[in-house]
Amino acid sequence: MVALDEVEREIVATVRQFVDRHVVRAASELEHADTYPEALIEQMKALGVYGLVVPEEYGGLGVSTSCFAAVTEELARGWMSLAGAMGGHSVVASLLTRFGTGAQRDRYLPRLATGEIRATMALTEPDGGSDLQAMRTVARPDGDEYVVNGTKMWITNARRAGLIAVLCKTDPSVEPAHRGMSVLLVEPGPGLTVSRDLPKLGYKGVETCEIAFESCRVPASAALGGAAGNGFAQMMSGLELGRIQVAARATGVARAAFEASLAYAQSREAFGVPIWMHQSIGNYLADMAVKLEAARMLVFAAADRLDAGGRCDLEAGMAKLYASEVCWELCQTAVRIHASNGYSAEYPVERFYRDAPLMVVGEGTNEIQRSIIARQLVERGGLPYT
C-alpha cells in the first residue's frame, strides 16, 4: 500500500468496506439494467467521497492525491461507473480550489464537498476530442454576460450536474487559439439542454450525454479565476489530476479482473487439478500480478509528483497510458481464464471487459498520451534519473 497517514488509511479502509458490503453484490444487476445507482451515490456522499479534494476549510476532506487515487481504485474495483461519477466532479473541485476567485470558491466548494451539487467538465465536442484548440463552442461577450453557443459530448453526470465547467472560446480571433479560451462555470438554466443520452458499450448506470448551448447567458463573473483567456492552461493543469484518476480507475478494474481470475483458477478444476496448476494458466496469473503492480506504482508515483507541486503531465500521461493498457489486457486475460464462463453475464469479468476500453480512450486517447510523453521527454532531457 502506498504511504498514507493514519487518517487517510482509515478513509481508504472505509471505502473498501463500503465496496465489499454494498457495491460488489449490487453492481452487476444495476449495470445490466443500466440503472442509476442513487442509493450508492448517496452513501458515497455520506462517506465524503465527493469532498475528497476539497480543502477542509470548505468542508471537504482535503486528502492527498495518493489517497484520492486509492479511493478511486477501490470504487472502480467494485464498479467503475461509481469511480466515474466522482471523477469529473473532483477535477472541477480541484480547478476551483487552485484557480477560482474567493467568491467562486465560497459559492461552490462547500456544496461540492457534500455532494449537494455535483459538477462535471465539458470539453469534447461532436467533431473533436483531443484537439481542444479546434473546438467550436463560443462564448461571445455581451455587456456583463457571455452568450454561449455550441455542443459538447461525453458529459458524465450531465442530467444531475449542478455545475458544468465548460471549456470554450471567448475570443475566437486570437492566435494561437488557446489564448482565447476560457473555462466558464455554468449552472443549469435557459439555453442549456441535455440533447440526448449516448449509448455505450460499458460504463453503464451513470448517464453520459450530449449537451447543447443555444444562446445560453452566463455572467462574466463565471469565468474561472475571474478573467478570460486562461482556460486552456487551467484545464490542462486539471487534466493531470483527471488522468491520474482515470489511471486509478484502470488499476481498480484490473484488480477486480485479477482477483476474480485468481479465485476462479483455484476453484475450477481440469484434468483432476485446479486450473492454476496448468502452466499456461499459472503464467497468465503471474503476468497479471506483475503488470498490475507496475501500473499501480506508476499511478502513485504520478500522485506523489502532483502533490509535490511539480509539473505532472509526463507522469500522469505515463500512468494513464500504462494502467489503461494493462487493464484492457488483464480483462481480456480474465475472460481467457474463465473460458466460456468469461463470456457469460453471470460472471463479472464480462463487465470488466466492457468497461476497460473507456480508460484507453478517455481523458485523452493513449495515442495522444504517447505524444505528450515524447514531447516531455525531449523538453526535460529524458527521465529524471538519466
Which residues are annotated as catalytic?
Answer: 363
Mark residue 157 as left, alpha or beta (left: phi above 0; alpha: psi -120 to 50; beta: remaining): left
Give the containing element (helix H, strand E) for 169.
strand 161-169
- Cα torsion at 306, 310, 316, 318 (round to 10°)? -140
Give the type of residue at 4.
L
Residue written as cell 483455484? 266
Mark out the alpha helices in the chain (DSSP H runs): 6-18, 24-33, 38-47, 65-78, 80-99, 102-114, 231-267, 279-307, 313-338, 349-361, 366-380
C-alpha 31/C-alpha 21 separation (Å) is 17
- Of 210, 208, 241, which Cα lies nearest the Cα of 96? 241
**What phi and psi values does residue 258 have, to the nearest 5 degrees?**
-65, -50
C-alpha 185/C-alpha 258 separation (Å) is 40
232-265: buried (b, 16+ CB within 10 Å) or exposed (e) per residue? bebbebbbbbbbbbbbbbbbbbbbbbbebbbebb
C-alpha 73/C-alpha 248 separation (Å) is 5
- Of 281, 300, 304, which Cα lies nearest the Cα of 292? 300
CA distances from 269 to 153, 258, 275, 331 (A): 47, 18, 5, 21
Give the type of residue at 198.
L
